[in-house]
Amino acid sequence: MKSFRHAYKAPRDPSAYASIEVRMERALAYVEEVRARSGQRLTVTHLVAKAAADALRRYPEANVILRWNRPWLRRRVGVCVLVVQPHHLGRVDLTTATVHDADRLSLQDFAAAMEERVQNVRHRRDAVIERGKRRSYRIPGLFMNAALDLLSFVWFTLNVDLAWVGMPRDPFGSVAVSNVGSLGLERAWLAMVPYTRVALYLAPGAVRDVPVVDGDSLVPGKGMTLSCTFDARLLDDELAARVLRHIGDALEDPESAWGPPEVPR
């Protein structure tokens, strides 16, 4: 076996992975009740994203960023979701919609703010993002990695606001959410993107029919796998587990987490 030892490089990827199984009957009923009462669009992605923001408020030591090779606590909780922009000028782009101070908003206010951000990004109405992308298109592919590393250094290590050159401030927030269930996948572990400095990635999978125990019987139920990728330099297993359990508890009992659905005035 010693002859194979030198065939491998030292590990450099800090990604660690975890997942939990979540009962979804109450969450689905809650979403439908909100829609029926208010007409507001609410989805499982909104629930997961808001629960993640609340978890980071409860466990602020998980709301961290790597700066000067050390963990720094963030002052705000930002949540981003991945958004596919339709074909435009020969391109289909993947970008992010981010809501900052998500922990301070009610669930329905957060969902409304996120929906507005998603629509603005999807339809290319965010002037800052679009200006920054147009400039990035001019960078030759050979130099793109170096340019992203430099941008990340200025953005996050030096903590410089680059909005004046078309780069939004803290565009990725504290946690990223991508609903892989919309692709028909039950689970997926998202790859960490180093230049974003995001320490926590969540991937809710497809809600599926599952057998559940009710007393002494097995009955039909709804379940979902929530997969997580986290930066092991910044979050240990126990802290990541606490964050995931908080999200799972909120999904399994949304009224306890956010109260009954609001009735429009």
In order, the DSSP letters of the chain are -HHHHTTSPPP---EEEEEEEEE-HHHHHHHHHHHHHH-----HHHHHHHHHHHHHHH-GGGSEEEETTEEEE-SS-EEEEEEEEEEETTEEEEEEEEEESGGGS-HHHHHHHHHHHHHHHHTT--HHHHHHHHHHTTS-GGGHHHHHHHHHIIIIIS----GGGT--SSSS-SEEE--GGGGT-S---PPP-GGG---EEEEE---EEEEEEETTEEEEEEEEEEEEEEETTT--HHHHHHHHHHHHHHHH-HHHHH-SPPPP-
pLDDT along the chain (265 residues), means of 10: 50 89 97 92 96 98 94 95 73 80 96 93 76 72 82 87 76 94 94 93 96 86 97 96 98 96 65
β-strand 91-100 against 175-177: which pairing, if any? unpaired
How many Cα atoms are found within 13 Å in the side-chain-facing hemisphere of 219? 8
pLDDT at 264: 55
| Per-residue tokens: 186 | 């039950």
Q: Which amino acid is at 115?
A: E
Two structure tokens written together for 107 = 């669930």
193 closest CA partner among 96, 88, 105, 72:
96
N-term to C-term CA, the chain: 71
φ, ψ (nearest 5 deg) of residue 4: -90, -10
pLDDT value for 91:
59
Q: How far apart are CA 65 and CA 235, in angstroms?
A: 10
For residue 11, the model assigns a pLDDT of 61
Rounded CA-CA distance 114/13 in Å is: 31
pLDDT of residue 12: 77
Strand partners, 224: 22
Query: What is the pTM for the complete model shown?
Result: 0.88
